[in-house]
Amino acid sequence: MVTICNPHHRGHREFDISAIRKFTTMFALVVAALTVTTVSVGSPASAATASTSRANSALQSVVPGAWRNAIPNARATRLISGKSSTSAYRMGIWVSRFHAAKPAPLLRHTMAHEFGHHIAFYYGSQVVYGAAPTGFPQGVTSVETWADCVASAFSGVDKHGTNVKKHCSRAGLRWTKAWLSKGPYAHPRTNAAIHW
Ligand SMILES: [Zn+2]
């Protein structure tokens, strides 16, 4: 029997760009250098207000309707503090205020990543909690890598949370895109086998 301490699969963490900006006036040169490397997506416009509705709008724009309809509870259900967004089976997506205030392309990437965990809950191989679907070329137990591939496949954004130790490879992305494009009804539901 497998037990885990935290039933919530951890979402991804990423570098706090907004914190860097707070130091702009004091360390302008350092920030300018960092900005070049960190602001690769979107523009540093005024910060958006974090909300679950903003997160769900991002989700709606990045995940195809067939997939959203297949897993209707895979949506932002609450805002949480900290910098990690989290998904749990049947509990939706808990979006960090940090992610929920991000520019739209990054928030879409985060929501697609978390939605990828929910796809795994319902269609995964169930080898471990959140395991990728059978056949995922980077290994079905590479839980974060699978979500990373789903995020890239849906959002087109090549970015990785810092907890994604093994990034989605070209082979992984190709396989994931093909798997996703078949739609939810082409794949067996496996969530009855979740026993964590
Ligand atoms: Zn994750």
Reported as a single tens digit per residue, the pLDDT across 57-114 is: 999 999 999 999 999 999 999 999 999 999 999 999 999 999 999 999 999 999 999 9
Determine, yes or no, domain membership for 195. no
Indicate the number of domains in the chain.
Answer: 1
Identify whether 111 is part of a domain: yes
Angle of CA points 109, 113, 117, to nearest 5°: 165
pLDDT over 80 (residue 119): yes
Q: How far is the CA of 25 from the centre of ligand 1 (A)?
A: 34
Distance 10 CA to ligand 1 centre (A): 6
Which of 14, 189, 154 is closest to 98 using CA atoms?
14
Could you tell me the distance, in angstroms and rounded to a whole number, from the CA of residue 37 to the centre of ligand 1?
23
CA of 15 to the centre of ligand 1 (A): 15
pTM above 0.85, yes or no: no
Q: Distance, CA 139 to ligand 1 centroid (Å)?
A: 15
* Dist. CA 72 → ligand 1 center (Å): 19
Q: Distance from the CA of 28 to the center of ligand 1, in angstroms?
A: 33
Q: Is residue 35 part of a domain?
A: no
How many whole angstroms separate alpha carbon 79 and alpha carbon 99? 10
What separation in Å is there between the alpha carbon of 96 and the centre of ligand 1?
Answer: 13
Within a domain: 29:
no
- Model pLDDT, residue 102: 96
93, 77 contact by CB (below 8 A) = yes
Residue 86 lies in a domain: yes
Q: What percent of the chain has pLDDT over 90?
A: 71
Domain with 99, as residue range(s), is 47-189
Which pLDDT score is estimated for 196?
67
Q: Regarding predicted confidence, which is higher, 13 or 96?
A: 96
Report residue 5's pLDDT band, with 50, 70 and 90 as the boundaries.
Answer: very low
pLDDT at 189 over 50: yes
Residue 31 forms part of a structural domain: no
- Residue 126, amino acid: Q
Q: Is the pLDDT of residue 14 over 80?
A: no
Q: pLDDT class for 3, splitting at 50, 70, 90? A: very low
The mean pLDDT value of the chain amounts to 82
Residue 15 domain flag: no
Centre of ligand 1 to C-alpha 30, Å, is 30
More confident residue, 45 or 28: 45
